[in-house]
A and B are shown apart, each in its own frame.
Chain A
Amino acid sequence: MRLKVNGRQVEAKEGTLLLDLVEVPTLCHHHHTETKGLCRLCLVEVNGRLLPACATQAQEGMEVRTDTEDLKALRRTLLEWLALSTDLSQAPALLELLEAHQGQPQRWGSLPVTRREREPIRDNPFFLRDYAKCVNCRRCVDACGDGIMGVYALTLEDRGLLAHPTTPLDRPLPGTPCVFCGNCVQVCPTGALRPLSMEV
């Protein structure tokens, strides 16, 4: 099967993810969880439509573009907004990406309500839940539930900018079905969940 990526002919097997054929940043996608299509950082243009490379299969004859001015503006802006609203200090990969895209979060002014105001939750001896750093990618929720563990100790709270993970009935983790397997910490891309051993 053949398709075009940025004008170049590419051979691919039927059903290959576009993500495996193109170079684009990702954030919500992880090979151990089913999260995809949420962060929109990996968007590419396919025959004029915006599609997430992490959730789109290659098809015969596709014309894929990854580097249009519009896509560059989109990625840069999205990274700027993330930096504006969320504490990325424990997410070096995202900070590098922001720099590589020449992001200037300040150009948007300030947000009166951000995620940064959240206090870290210390409710267990193993890891911290520091949702000021959470981008709501839901990798942890999926890892704990449908994706890996099937334990369902995590769920989601609220809507819009303030949506973020929580526990059933907002209980401390030891009061939930959590078995402290650490999968959620493993998949968290921002340091919002991090081992207490890393704290000084």
Chain B
Amino acid sequence: MEKPSLLPLLDARLPLTEEGVAEAARLAGVPLAQAWGVVRYYPRYRGLPQGRLLVDDPVARARGFARLLEGADGTHPPLGLEALSPIHVRIEGRERYVEHQGHRVPFQEFRLPFHLGRGERLLPPEPILDLEAYRRRGGLEGLKGLLEGRLSPVGLIQAVEEAGLLGRGGAAFPTHIKMRAVAQGAPPKYLVVNADESEPGNFKDRFLLEHHPYLVLEGALLAALATGASRVFLYVRDEFEAAIQGLEKAIAELKEAGRLPVPTEVFRSGGLYICGEETALLESMEGKRAEPRLKPPFPVEKGLWGRPTLVQNVETLANLPLILKEGPGTWRQKEPKLFSISGDVARPGLYELPLGTPLEDAVRMAGGEPGELRAVLLGGAAGVFTRELTFPLRYRERLPLGAGAIVAFGQGVDLWEVLLGLVEFFREESCGKCFPCPLGTAVQVEMVRRRERSKALVQDLAQTLKGSLCGLGQSAYWAYQSLLEVEGAA
């Protein structure tokens, strides 16, 4: 049954004292042991690192990480700022600032400064930050159609099926199958928007949340109505302050305009990479340590508080209004996908490209010279290095697209340094619930430090990590294995 969630209760008592933790546990109706396990899990309850921190990402690693680190007190996990590098975050008590190119901006005012890059696009290129502007561009029409009965919930799911929309969070699971499963479940049911993007090299969801909050909300409301969900939660990465404020303003405006058919609220994420794993995300919403659950049961049967729950990525949902607007057939022909392109390219940023675009064209579009690159990291931390750039960017093609990160590395880059950053990321972000992942990611860091190339060892490492409980451990060796392949091909 639904209970007051522990995380917001703890948030309200920061900085935490023993009495504060005990009080939060009492109000949430959970044993003190559970609350303490939560406090000892999430960095923001344990106390944030203070000082000037270098955002540790593949691009920083490629640009003399060690030297950049000298002027810093430590590192900060990626924030979707990689395209701008190098970036520092300053944390002073509870105040946080972003430092880049000589400017210091409070966290809550910082938005990704670039606009949508060229390419064929369905998304408006300019930010749309108020309801009137959104309406002027034809927004809310899909929602109106559904509320006025011109479109049925079944019809909407059918349109999603005809469009062939695959989940944009990385797993590429057919969206309509999840929607239909939740639609068939017994109420109460929930919709959770997974807005916890925290992977190095990826900044597309952050961009959508900051620049197109109405589109994201309309998509979420459409999905909620189609599945019969009685509440919508936006699980937003805690660090995306500007996005959280923008979403809250947009929710209030929609409510005011009588266009919020389902109660909708923002839930501040636990602030860890693993919080984006859909079952870990649900655990944290339920006031527990964000650790993945064993599946089955899947969230569509037993999700939030044991109820059928649709968990969907931001970009996936943002496509629902676009599918209705374009018509599923046209949308399917254009098959838009957002790619975060960064690294050694002249115009790093976000690009909307049709699926099927060759990787080299994507790199070129962002001002990169495919012929002059050492390698491209495709898919983020849970991604692969490749030198072969002619294949089409498409799901279930040769290499995994992940959430759509493309990081280009020029000739001067030591890819082992970049890899070290990636494997350290996995070691830091391992939740520690199952056995292969915390052990294997720790062993892996040492292997990469000594530039271990033994086939037998790497093979056994991969084989064992494959047996991990969730995707984090299961993909932790991809970059390593692929770098050895890239080296072999060089």
Residues of A within 8 A of B (CB): 27-28, 36-41, 43, 50, 52, 55, 70, 73-74, 76-78, 81-82, 84-85, 107-113, 135-136, 145, 152-163, 166-170
Contact = CB atoms under 8 A, between A and B. Distances in A.
Interface in B192-211: none
18 contacts: A37-B469, A41-B435, A77-B460, A81-B439, A82-B435, A108-B446, A108-B457, A109-B446, A111-B442, A145-B33, A160-B428, A160-B430, A160-B431, A160-B438, A160-B442, A161-B427, A161-B430, A169-B32
A153 B33 CA distance: 7
Closest 10 CB pairs of A and B: A163-B432, A155-B37, A152-B31, A155-B33, A81-B439, A152-B33, A160-B430, A77-B464, A161-B438, A168-B32
B216 to A, nearest CB: 30
A163 B294 contact: no
**Candidate in A85, A112, A163, A170 with the most chain B CB atoms within 10 angstroms:** A163
B459 A73 contact: yes
Contacts, number: 137
Interface of B: 18, 21, 31-37, 40-41, 272, 289, 294, 427-436, 438-443, 446-447, 450, 452, 457, 459-461, 463-464, 466-469
A153 B32 CA distance: 9
Nearest to A145: B33
B32 A38 contact: no
A107 B37 CA distance: 35
Contact of A38 (B33, B36, B443, B469): B469
B461 to A, nearest CB: 7
A163 B434 CA distance: 10
Contacts of A158: 40-41, 432
Contacts of B433: 38, 163
Contact of B443 (A36, A40, A74, A84): A84
Contacts of A70: 463
A111 B37 contact: no
Given A50-B466, A156-B41, A160-B428, A111 B446 contact: yes
A108 B457 CA distance: 8
A167 B116 CA distance: 50
A153 B34 CA distance: 10
Contact of B447 (A77, A109, A145, A161): A109
